[in-house]
Structure 1
Amino acid sequence: MVSPQSIDDPLSLEQQVCFALSVASRNVVALYRPLLEPMGLTHPQYLVMLALWQHAPLSVKDLSGLLALEPATLSPLLKRLEAVGYLRRERAAGDERQLAVTLTDEGAALRERALEIPPAVVARLGMPLEELMGLHAALTRVIEATKRSRS
């Protein structure tokens, strides 16, 4: 609940964009958990699979850039997904220094099951799709603004 004085206080918790983003992120990711568990995926692994379903094959470097994750953070995710048979990591033919990430047949087939995830999340949120698309657009602008502010 927002108190009248918190509106005037620039340090009130309720006024912090970082707080709202943090709580919203945790809560939305928690909505995904029961949907992803039957597929054997965590939310970060799901993001990796989304990128690969759209763009595979990818170098680890390119995948890291797409997901805005450091390679050191991405590597354990890739190892686990490789261990369950959803992807392969191989040296790139043109450059032995690069690791190429490709989907296995099982990983590619998992996409069909994943098609159920977005509508299930929308249903669980109970918000109009147009409102969610507007939120996505606003968050994309926030992401771009933070990238610009770091350069």
Structure 2
Amino acid sequence: MAAYEMSGNHSLEEPYVFEPHVHLIVGGAPVEALKAAFQVRLPRGARGRDKPVRVSFIQNSELGNLLGYLTKMKAQDRVEYLGSNGRTNRASNRMRTVEANLWLRCMATLPITHAIQFGGFATSVTALFINAEMATIVRALK
């Protein structure tokens, strides 16, 4: 499953930008094989503490919460700030109205079937998702 998302980025030193990104759920592959397949190398200075690709093992009990997180459509900013220890950090925050309006106009042009992609599922599971029957989907995936 792949879910397209776009968040805003408030940086301490850079102008405000929208950052598109994709969340993937891949089943049946060893973690090391996934890391090798999605190997992206950026200099630490170019990416800071953020990693362009993160691979995590997911317990079956976490699948429902994860599906909810991946399929959210929420205007959200990632705000960089200077912590009390002098290091930069990031936190999520609600998008301001002017940026949220731009975000909504952009996301409204993207059909839900393009924002969320399924592969390897039976048609009935995809149909349930489009109708937002999340509890039924979680039962079907277990």
TM (norm. structure 1) is 0.27
More strand by share: 2
State the structure with bigger RCO (CA 8 A, min sep 6), 1 or 2. 2
Q: Which has the higher helix share?
A: 1
TM-score normalised per structure 2: 0.28
